[in-house]
Amino acid sequence: MMRRLMGPNASTAGRGPRRRAAALAAACVLVLGPAPGAQATERKALGGDAAERAYRDLLDHGAGAKVMTAAHRGQWRQAPENSLRAIRLAFAQGAEIVEVDVRLTRDGVPVLLHDATVGRTTDGTGRVADLTYAEVRALRLREGLGGRQAAVTGQRIPTLAEAMRVARTRGLVNLDKGWEARDAIWRVLEETGTVRNGLFKSRAPVSEVRSFLAGHPGALYAHVVDDTNAASVEEFGDAPPLVYEVLFATVEDAVADAAFLRRLRSAGRIWMNSMADGLAARHTDEASLIDPARGWATLIGTYGASVLQTDNAEALETYLATGAAGTVPPGAVRVQGEGFAPGGEGISYHDTDTGNRGDGPGRPGEDVDVCDQDGAVAVCRMRGSEWLTYEVSVPRSGRYAVAARVASPYAPAGTYRLAFDGGVPGVPVAVRNTTGHSAFALQPSGVMRWLDRGPHTLRLSLDANAYQNWNLDYLQLEPVTG
């Protein structure tokens, strides 16, 4: 019999031990995730609150097991990372799991903070391990992923206890960075009645993991493996962890091998990360938003992922429900930043330095700088006085509002103007801080224009006398109704 590395509390929750032979038989085929579209209805049929359903789903790794969404640091696009508001939003937007980071204050209180220091995400400085809880509580969180130029909000660093109370009926919490503080974390889970909500995670030696789980019945656990510790899978033997989190920098990594993953998949869930390049090769959120086959679809279908950690929980949920991701809204027209018109320097664009200084696919002989930002292809190294011309064709006559999908960790990030059909540039549009070079956000420009059905030119020019440091993924013309 296979004994899962989990205490008796967990095993009484509806899944008995599974015969090893059955597991081995299942291992002969890399089980594909359910077809996109199948998940939405399935979820409603189950009873209990959302956390109970997520818990049962996590324990299920059968052929029809649903793919689960884990929101990286909560919904940080709309609230500070690791804030209570970010956690609430992530659950409200469909994530079954919210990944948070746990650290101890000097006086031993588990709080949510990613870095060892508070500088990036708050208005304070110093190491959290050197600050008392009272000192930590006086700090205010910065927007999104933080950074020195991110606005300070009214949100505070939450305690783990506060976070677990939020999650208690809503879903699961993946406890990253917290292995060293596991005993303190366990006490919080017990005190808040959330043992079933907390998913521990580590890449600690197997003996250490076994010892902790043996002493903490019911603890949920994910083991992190990459090519440096793949042998730990052998050490777990026939008592595997509930979840393996598999990290692979490239598809040539040993842990990305199909037979290896089939084995993991037959015995539990496989968790993969699509936030950035190098976590699951180049199968990222941004690549998925261009074409799911370049990201999520391949992680699920080829690599057997049944938990995906994402910075785009809403978009992933949409993909899992409909099979589509990153689609253009009805009636809208999208033109890629890097898809500027042909013609060359001085005719279709002006760029201030020779050649493509970015790492992305620029055009031969042309100077516009194009970067690959974790799968998003964007015009980068944008400088004052540069401009780009686009050819757009609108499907019907009407008023259109222009929005730009941009990324920048700066405030101000930049200023651009739009000109239609060879006319004069309009009012300056400020690019707002998105708190990361790869943290793209679709920002309305406030510019609206009547356009007759058919082709038009649109020129985007950067004010010469303004600070400019931002990336342009695409422009979008959206029909204005009413």
Residues near Ca ion, by CB under 5 A: 336, 351, 353, 357, 367, 369, 377, 381, 473-474
Neighbours of 14 (CB within 10 A): 10
Between helices 182-191 and 160-167, what is the axis angle to 10°? 50
Phi, psi of 179, rounded to the nearest 5 degrees? -60, -40
Number of H helices, E strands in the chain: 14, 20
Nearer to Ca ion, 94 or 295 (CB): 295
Nearer to Ca ion, 176 or 473 (CB): 473
- Least Å distance, CB 78 to Ca ion, is 22
- Least Å distance, CB 411 to Ca ion, is 21
d(CA 377, CA 290): 9
Nearer to Ca ion, 305 or 418 (CB): 418
Long-range pairs, 365-373, Cβ under 8 A, ≥24: 368/338, 368/340, 370/338, 371/471, 373/286, 373/407, 373/437, 373/438, 373/440, 373/471
Nearer to Ca ion, 46 or 324 (CB): 324
Nearer to Ca ion, 168 or 357 (CB): 357
Tell me 397's DSSP state. Answer: S
- Least Å distance, CB 289 to Ca ion, is 10
Nearer to Ca ion, 203 or 350 (CB): 350
- Least Å distance, CB 368 to Ca ion, is 6
Nearer to Ca ion, 36 or 358 (CB): 358
- Least Å distance, CB 370 to Ca ion, is 9
- Least Å distance, CB 190 to Ca ion, is 48
d(CA 415, CA 397): 28
- Least Å distance, CB 401 to Ca ion, is 19
d(CA 193, CA 242): 20
Nearer to Ca ion, 207 or 354 (CB): 354
Q: Which structure tokens are listed for 112?
A: 């949510």
- Least Å distance, CB 386 to Ca ion, is 5
d(CA 420, CA 400): 12
3-state helix, strand, coil in the chain (%, to 5): 25, 30, 50
Nearer to Ca ion, 245 or 366 (CB): 366
Between helices 84-92 and 160-167, what is the axis angle to 10°? 20
- In our burial notation (b when 16+ CB lie closer than 10 A, e otherwise), range 18-44 reads beeeebeebbeebbebbebeebeeeee
d(CA 117, CA 131): 10
- Least Å distance, CB 6 to Ca ion, is 44
Burial grade of 149 (CB within 10 A; 0-12, 13-18, 19 or more): middle
